[in-house]
Amino acid sequence: MPDDAAMPSHKDRDLLERRDQSFTSTDTWLVMRVMSEFVAGFDALASIPPAICIFGSARVGRDDPMYAAARDVAERFARAGLAVITGGGPGIMEAANLGCREGGGLSIGCNIDLPLEQRLNDYVDLALDFHHFFVRKTMFAKYGEGFVVFPGGYGTVDELFEALTLIQTGKMLHFPVVLFGTGYWSPMTDWLRDTMLAEGKINERELELLLVTDDPEQVVSHCRAVLAKKTADAPPPTTPKPGD
């Protein structure tokens, strides 16, 4: 038997030796975990049909009018040939996943690991689980063709303003954003107009990035109109030259 102490260091042996677990909390290891979440999300969503993201509160009960409205809107999107992506949880998210399934569409849930409230609802056909909000939000922005935002709390508003910032700065083009529920959202849009716009913090065009409505059909028709413009403005496919 060789003398272990006399053996030179070897990369494979170093890899295979069992060590303490402290490395799993280092920044380098956390970067690898984040990367794995991105890869898993991209792999799962790369081949889905065009989709609309629907957001809203997890605290909405099934007897709430907004639950019925989200279910209706999602079913209309599904019948129009669009998938629906939600956060995968209860409340508005559940309603949208249910409506999408009832409309024959692909119902997708991007669930987040939270200590309270969040659990995957029963109406998700394609489920993904995330530990990091920023990875999850990237999936919404990358694979959603537009956002429909129902009444919600901090998380809902966070997703809304991230989308508006990406559109405002040209990171996303032809991306409809609809706020459903004029009674809920009007105080916020009044503030955007009467304070933000009035003080020059945003301009008129940026204020017009939002459509506020109570009409499910208008939600769908507006999103389809914006997506049609996106298709019309897309560059034509290039034909490979012989030998390419």
CATH (domain of 60): 3.40.50.450
User: Is residue 6 a part of any domain in this protein?
Assistant: no
Domain count, the chain: 1
The predicted-structure confidence for 168-197, as pLDDT tens digits, reads as follows 999 999 999 999 999 999 999 999 999 999
Q: Could you tell me the pLDDT band of residue 156, with boundaries at 50, 70 and 90? A: very high
User: Is residue 116 a part of any domain in this protein?
Assistant: yes
User: Is residue 128 a part of any domain in this protein?
Assistant: yes
CA distance 28 to 22: 12
User: Is residue 133 a part of any domain in this protein?
Assistant: yes
User: Is residue 180 a part of any domain in this protein?
Assistant: yes
Number of other CB atoms surrounding residue 113 within 10 Å = 11
Instruction: Provide the domain limits for residue 199.
Output: 48-231
Q: In what order do the strands lie in the sheet with 126-130?
A: 126-130, 107-112, 83-86, 51-55, 147-149, 177-180, 210-213
Picking from 57, 80, 81, the residue whose alpha carbon sits closest to that of residue 69 is 57
Q: Is 150 exposed, middle or buried (0-12, 13-18, 19+ CB in 10 A)?
A: buried
> What pTM did the predictor assign?
0.86
In this structure, of 13-17, 53-57, 131-135, 165-169, the range with the lowest mean pLDDT score is 13-17
Say what the pLDDT of residue 55 is: 98
User: Is residue 166 a part of any domain in this protein?
Assistant: yes
Say what the pLDDT of residue 242 is: 53
User: Is residue 30 a part of any domain in this protein?
Assistant: no
Mean of all residue pLDDT scores within the chain? 90
User: Is residue 10 a part of any domain in this protein?
Assistant: no
